[in-house]
Structure 1
Amino acid sequence: MADSAITRAVRALDLIPYILENPGNSVEQLANKFETSSKQIISDLEVIFMCGLPGYTPYELIDLSFEDGIVTVVDAQVLDKPRKFTETEAVIVSLGLQLLSNLAENIESKDRISKLIEKLSSKFKATSQIELSLSNKPTHYDAVIHAITAKSNIEFSYKSLSKDEFTNRTVSPIRIYTSGGVYYLSAFDQNNNGLRVFRIDLMSDIQLISGVYKTGESPIFIQTIEFEIESTNELFLEKYSSIFNEVTKTKTGFNAKGLVSNREWLFRLLLSNRAEVTVIKPQDLADDLIDRAGKIVDLYADSSNN
């Protein structure tokens, strides 16, 4: 299974500092260290080789040598030190972990989060001086969190402030958020067949019930793609790198694999780069692209005749 773009980016940020601190490593040794294949390490190094500071001339790019099997960093640019948190970043992470700890119901998860918080506190003094408090959370907060975690429907009585009356609601809870110090529940209201927002402090008599859990969201379309990109269109690869999770250099350019969730956007992207991008997979996308391109040509022909 191909690594995600995020996994590759994180590994790339760690590779350069590690190579600088441990010179003389072979591609195979780096692959073992970072728990991936030698082929993937070479692919990562090729990507890093094209990275650098704005300007992107040979003077700003990271300079590597790995053709002889031993990886050497000639010029690391700004990646000469391991990634580390600033004091501010550590505080933000600590607050996030404390929030997760409050939300977690599993004891094992709470323990693991607690250890991470302690580890941060031992390295950053500011994190030990800040504590997140949910003391003002409404009475039914925990019950709602449990329902969201379990993806369970809930039934409750809800007080309308505008009408000063109570109504019974059946919903599929989606998420909790705060605004102005008030906790709100975003949920799919099965009574009205749509998304609604409820103030948690106005909810009472909450009960978990069985039934189909709905979110009101359409299924997300995910398309696996594979392109052959000519070397003359390397800018395309850099500009849309977020959709690719595996890139391999070929004799004529690059083979790129990835995932997209918007087919119409993908059509427009390919039509504007068709000459230098060949669709390998899926075949139906290539067929539809040829068909649509043909129709566009026909439209131009018709307009010329008129």
Structure 2
Amino acid sequence: MATNAIDQTRRMLSLVTYLRDRPGAAVEEVARAFGITADELISDLNVLPMCGTSFRGGDLLEIESDGEHIWWRNADALGADTAQPLRLAADEATALLVAARAVANLPGLRESDREALQRATAKLEAAAGESAGASSRLSVTFESEGGVFADLDRAIAERRRVWLRYYSPARDRLTEREVDPVRLFTVGRTYLEAWCRLSEDRRTFRLDRVAQIRLLDEAADPPRVEPRDLSAGLVQPSADDPEVVVEVGPGGRWVAEYYPHDSAEELPDGGLRITLRTPDPSSLRRLGLRLGADGRIVSPPELAERARAASREALAAYGE
């Protein structure tokens, strides 16, 4: 299966968590869980031992395989606390600041935790001095899905129902639901296909949007459904669906991550011109409100006007 460097990096990040919790895991079983061949898995395993716990080459991962099973030799040692004082070089400070800002924007993060992280980031910026300037020009999108993947893989293997706290970008809120997992798959990102007990229908969930997960004691009993054909991609909008164009500034680039789209063209100011299709354009009015000064709906004109009217109403309510 063809893959790119980003997909492989995401997979390997998940592999670290997966293998740590499954000493002696069978090669064929791990390959099947990640939707890759045994040869691709062995190729990943040949790279992982070159990775360490420090940007400057600290302890390396000791992962071994006899071709049939996989062992992580020093998982406990790498997780142990050390007494060495923290000293950050410029590149390490930059990486830490970029990651901290990304975590602060994760959906589902408690407000008290978000504020604490922002205070710590401010202190780190002050300590980093000029190094902090470079980090402000960078952004990162990542998936904290390793543990979620492992839990869902277990739920599928044991045929157990799962409780999820899931972020819905279309509604801009977290929902709680019970689902019967069907399969895990990767199309750019990693997804769960499941029967949702809340909507009583088949649903697809992106793993990086799962804020919390809990395996239940109830047995999963999804209706028999034909697996979706994903050869043309996860999102397959109809040619008859209305086209919506949204222009966002640098602060609104997250829209391209959370909303399936046809294209995302770079703009001179660092923003994006995003084109997408949806059978219900009015459902994107909330997006216009969320963007605020970070972007605007360009077309269709009637949707753009409704978004502006909603913004005026919201501002008037604040005034009252």
Same fold (TM over 0.5): no
Greater C-alpha Rg: 1
Q: TM-score, normalised by structure 1?
A: 0.33
Q: TM-score, normalised by structure 2?
A: 0.32
